């Protein structure tokens, strides 16, 4: 998985998004490039789980709780479908880039002969998540592609066109 950008693939990053369009934008913080998906979003679930640890004190019959941290987890499904053959090619490139956000890239330390991982941190821009200038920082915890049984296939290439993507 190479983060270098091929000039032929630039159309998957630069999109003609118009004001009022709904889209999901995921920014790869390794390359500072954003991937735009237009589609139908379903099942937005946001879970915020605070953690407390109990502490016992002499002379108290009940525990005293001390706040430790909070964990935020967001998941949603995105259905994508290309409108034409060009969009289908771009959609497959976008799906490859999205998949690459679940894997690290490897950086060579100059002269040392060692490689180290660079984490695939992202920013998410969608609906109420993030702002137009700054997305929600995070990482992809889970990514599932489902091709529905009743989905449409490209008869020339025998490739599915409709994808239901579960992102957490």
Q: Dihedral, CA atoms, 147, 46, 126, 9, nearest 10 degrees?
A: -40
Tell if the pTM clears 0.85, that is, is over it: no
pLDDT at 64 (0 to 100): 93
| Exposure string over 42-62, b if 16+ CB within 10 A, otherwise e | eeeeeeeeeeeeeeeeeeeee
pLDDT tens for each residue of 153-166: 887 878 888 899 99
pLDDT above 90: residue 50: yes
**What percent of the chain lies above the pLDDT cut of 90?**
39
pLDDT above 90: residue 18: no
pLDDT at 13 (0 to 100): 56
What's the residue count for the chain? 168
112 CB neighbour count, 10 Å cutoff: 8
pLDDT at 15 (0 to 100): 55
DSSP output for 61-86: SS-EEEEEEEEEEEEEEEEE--SSHH
pLDDT above 50: residue 146: yes
pLDDT above 60: residue 9: no
Task: From 12, 9, 10, 43, select the one nearest 25 (Cα to Cα).
Answer: 12
Give bridge partners of residue 27 from the DSSP assignment.
34, 123
pLDDT at 4 (0 to 100): 47
Give bridge partners of residue 34 from the DSSP assignment.
27
pLDDT above 90: residue 107: no
pLDDT above 90: residue 150: no
Element (H, E) at 24: strand 24-28
Phi/psi region, residue 112 (left: phi>0; alpha: psi -120 to 50; beta: rest), is alpha
């Amino acid at each position: 998985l190479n983060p270098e950008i091929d000039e032929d693939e630039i159309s998957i990053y630069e999109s003609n998004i118009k004001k009022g369009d709904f889209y999901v934008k995921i920014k790869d913080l390794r390359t500072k490039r954003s991937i735009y998906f237009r589609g139908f979003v379903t099942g937005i679930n946001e879970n915020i789980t605070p953690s407390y640890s109990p502490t016992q004190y002499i002379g108290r019959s009940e525990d005293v709780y001390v706040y430790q941290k909070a964990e935020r987890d967001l998941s949603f499904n995105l259905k994508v479908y290309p409108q034409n053959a060009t969009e289908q090619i771009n959609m497959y490139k976008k799906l490859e880039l999205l998949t690459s956000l679940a894997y690290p890239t490897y950086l060579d330390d100059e002269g040392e002969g060692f490689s180290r991982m660079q984490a695939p941190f992202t920013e998410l821009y969608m609906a109420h998540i993030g702002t137009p200038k700054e997305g929600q920082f995070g990482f992809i915890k889970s990514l599932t592609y489902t091709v529905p049984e009743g989905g449409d296939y490209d008869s020339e290439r025998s490739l599915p066109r409709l994808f239901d993507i579960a992102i957490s």
